[in-house]
Every structure is written in C-alpha cells, then in structure tokens.
C-alpha cells in the first residue's frame, strides 16, 4: 500500500534541467525519502514530476503573457495514466481534455497530407476528438503545498551542483 503522506520528489534532470530553469549542469535527484518510501512512492514521484514540470510552464505562461489559460488539451502516451491526468488537472486548477487517440501528432500529420491531396477538407481539423476530461478535485491548499515542495526539491537539486 502506498503511503499517502509521503513527500518524495523526483527531479528528472537526467541530462540537465529544462524549461523554465534551463540549466544543463544539473543532474536528477530523488528528495524527501523516508523510511516509509518504497518503490510505489518513487514511481508516483516520477509521474508527479511530469505534472509539476507542466505546471511550471503554464505558471510561466500565465505570469508572462496576457493569455488566459482556461483548459489544457493533452496527448501522448502518458495520457493513458488516469492518476497523472487527475493530478495534472488538480495542480493546474484547470479542466484537462484527453483525446481518444493518444498520439495526435501522427494523426495531425496524416490529416495535413490528406488535406493537401484533397482527400479531406480542412473541416476535419475542427472535429472534437476528446474522449476523457478531468476537473480539479484536490484541495487547493494541499496542491499548493505539493508545488512548494517541488520547488524546494528543484532548488535543492540546482544548489547541489556537480
């Protein structure tokens, strides 16, 4: 059974820390391990790191532009993980939409080729392809505390150096 109070963080800077930090000298770390931390908690921390990184980028977009982010439409293999999708919606405090087809990039390229050949009209690009949606459910204070822990983990990892 996974420990719900575990505050383990995985910073996946395996070849440097990407956006919005952009530090190629940082290497990955796992922080906050306790005697109760096991394999499940480390796997959860790795999944959570994806959502934390997206949250960092969306936070930067919100702060540096006049663009109002009202929902997030996602794709890719990670969208099949319902835990991750709900955690992402909770962190961002935004609705999240997941398509029926996980890899929309390939589908988009195929549609563009078909449009160029006259097989499809551009209207095909307007069709709703979303199958699942997630709305924020977690307590805002709880998610803010988790994000604060993430930023402490990031700063500790950057401060460690190599």
In a domain, 3, yes or no: no
Instruction: Tell how far CA 5 is from the center of its chain.
Output: 21
Ranges assigned E (strand) in the chain: 9-11, 29-31, 72-73, 96-99, 130-134
Residue-level pLDDT at 108: 81
**pLDDT single digits (tens) 63-89:** 999 889 999 999 899 999 999 999 999
Q: What's this model's pTM, rounded to 2 decimal places?
A: 0.86
> DSSP secondary-structure letter at 66?
S
Specify if 55 maps to a domain.
yes
pLDDT at 95: 97
pLDDT of residue 101: 79
User: How many domains would you assign to the chain?
Assistant: 1
* Position 1 in a domain: no
Residue range of the domain that includes 142: 9-160
Q: How many Cβ atoms are within 10 Å of 101's Cβ, its own excluded? A: 11
- Beta strands at 29-31 and 72-73: parallel, antiparallel or unpaired: unpaired
96 is written with which tokens?
């999240």
Cβ contacts of 148 within 8 Å, gap of 6 or more: none
The pLDDT value given to residue 49? 97
CATH number of the domain at 154, please.
3.30.420.40
Question: Is 4 within a domain?
Answer: no
The bridge status of strand 130-134 relative to strand 96-99 is antiparallel
């Amino acid at each position: 059974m996974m420990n719900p109070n575990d505050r383990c963080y995985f910073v996946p800077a395996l070849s440097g820390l990407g956006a919005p930090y952009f530090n190629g000298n940082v290497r990955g770390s796992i922080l906050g391990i306790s005697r109760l931390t096991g394999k499940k908690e480390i796997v959860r921390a790795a999944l959570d790191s994806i959502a934390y990184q997206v949250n960092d980028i969306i936070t930067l977009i919100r702060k540096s532009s006049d663009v109002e982010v009202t929902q997030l439409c996602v794709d890719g293999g990670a969208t099949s993980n319902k835990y991750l999708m709900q955690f992402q919606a909770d962190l961002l405090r935004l609705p999240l939409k997941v398509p029926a087809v996980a890899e929309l990039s390939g589908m988009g390229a195929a549609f563009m080729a078909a449009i160029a050949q006259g097989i499809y009209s551009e209207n095909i690009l307007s069709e709703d392809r979303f199958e699942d949606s997630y709305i924020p459910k977690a307590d805002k204070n709880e998610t803010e505390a988790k994000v604060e822990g993430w930023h402490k983990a990031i700063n500790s990892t950057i401060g460690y150096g190599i």
